[in-house]
Amino acid sequence: MANQSNVIAGPVGRTRRPRSAFTLIELLVVVAIIALLISILLPSLSKARAQARATVCASRISQLCKALLLYAEDHEETPPFMGRGWEDHDNVIGGGTWPDDNPISIELWARWEDWIMPDMPDYWGLAQEDWPDPHASVRNGSLYRYTRFDDMYRCPDFQRITGKSQDTFNYCRSIAGRKYYLWDEAEGQPGSPWYSGSDFGACGPIVKISAVYAPSAAWILGEEKWDTHIAAGPAGFSPPTSVFVPGGWMASDCMFYPLGSLVGQYHGSEVDTGCPEYPDGTPVPKIKRGTAAYYDGHAALVIDPMPTRNEQPPDFFGFTDPESQLWHVLNWFLGMIYSVRGKNPPLEGFIPT
């Protein structure tokens, strides 16, 4: 008789075999394999996401740049930049006039620089508890009819950070939006109608697109760091800023603490800045890159030329010391002037006496 010990009677006309199951050991092995695969894949997925955000950032700032160029096409090649780009909130409110031959108040210039949003000085002065302000919107800016997209004004990595003092934008125009008259030129010296009391030169008329000497090397926009907005010094710097949204006009790439901003450090792996070490031998820390757009419309990752402006360097005013950070950023600044002007500024005479 056939052995039927493994056959179990079932419904009429059917038989079924005993159901096999995973043992605990087998389940643990599967779980361990899945955990191992996740640990291997997660860093790659994280890098892929970061790369995707960097790509989106480059696309946004490039599109914003193209909107500026379209605006300029409609306005005799003139971008919508108005102010000089280095005043802070305290200097704007109740400040002086400029230029000498057409005494318009500094505050009025700041209000005219409305391509991001109108009445920026009021926006800077808002207390944090007064946010959000319906008026403080890029939709009210003069550039919005060329952009039609609120997120075009900010980096996706900037959007992911919580606790910022403002969430509206972090793409800012370059201070080179106006022609910079050098300290060895008549327009940059006392007696010139453009002179503004600075021994470093003077801002002149708005730079037209066709007048830029090297459009592929000159910034028109840059992204700023989340905690140091709009050409303002870090909160711990002396003297500290007195407003929640610190800042000068919509301008980045300045070279000094009170005048300067930080290029955003969001993208890619950490890289060497190329800055010399501090005079006390402390190395300058590695940083990530930010994104900038240029007068020819392309975007690229860039390194902040003075990456540790969050900290007060041991030798901040080391203009003439080749081992100082400021010497490094000074040469970068002069190169930017050359890209716009096509004239190499002289190093001698730069330092006021």
pLDDT tens over the chain, length 353 residues: 455 555 555 555 566 666 667 788 888 888 888 888 887 777 777 888 899 999 999 999 999 999 999 999 999 999 999 887 766 666 676 677 888 777 888 888 888 888 988 877 676 655 445 555 666 788 989 999 999 999 999 999 999 988 776 778 889 888 788 888 887 888 888 888 888 776 667 888 999 999 999 999 999 998 887 766 554 444 433 333 333 344 444 566 554 443 445 688 899 988 887 766 666 677 777 889 999 999 999 999 988 776 665 554 444 444 556 556 666 667 777 788 888 888 876 655 454 43
- State the pLDDT at residue 90: 61
Are the C-beta atoms of 301 and 289 separated by less than 8 Å? yes
- State the pLDDT at residue 232: 45
- State the pLDDT at residue 145: 95
Q: Give domain status of residue 15, yes or no.
A: no
**What is the Cα–Cα distance from 253 to 172, expressed in whole angstroms?**
9
Kindly tell me the burial class for residue 279, based on how many C-beta atoms sit within 10 Å of its own C-beta (0-12, 13-18, 19 or more): middle
Q: Give domain status of residue 13, yes or no.
A: no
Determine how β-strand 171-174 pairs with β-strand 251-252. Answer: parallel
Closest by CA to 297, choosing from 236, 207, 218, 179, is 218
> Which tokens hold the place of 15?
């038989």
**What is the Cα–Cα distance from 101 to 145, expressed in whole angstroms?**
33
Side chain identity at 352, as an amino acid letter? P
Are the C-beta atoms of 195 and 188 separated by less than 8 Å? yes
- State the pLDDT at residue 161: 86
Domain count, the chain: 1
Q: Give domain status of residue 31, yes or no.
A: yes
What is the span of the domain harbouring residue 219? 25-341
**DSSP secondary structure, 31-70, as one string:** HHHHHHHHHHHHHHHHHHHHHHHHHHHHHHHHHHHHHHHH
Q: Give domain status of residue 16, yes or no.
A: no
Length of the chain: 353
CA distances from 101 to 52, 97, 98, 235 (A): 50, 10, 8, 36
Sign, CA dihedral 54-56-59-64, equals negative
Q: Give domain status of residue 218, yes or no.
A: yes
Q: Give domain status of residue 234, yes or no.
A: yes
Q: Give domain status of residue 14, yes or no.
A: no
The model's pTM is 0.79
**What is the Cα–Cα distance from 279 to 283, expressed in whole angstroms?**
9
**What is the Cα–Cα distance from 237 to 258, expressed in whole angstroms?**
9
Q: Give domain status of residue 37, yes or no.
A: yes
- State the pLDDT at residue 193: 84
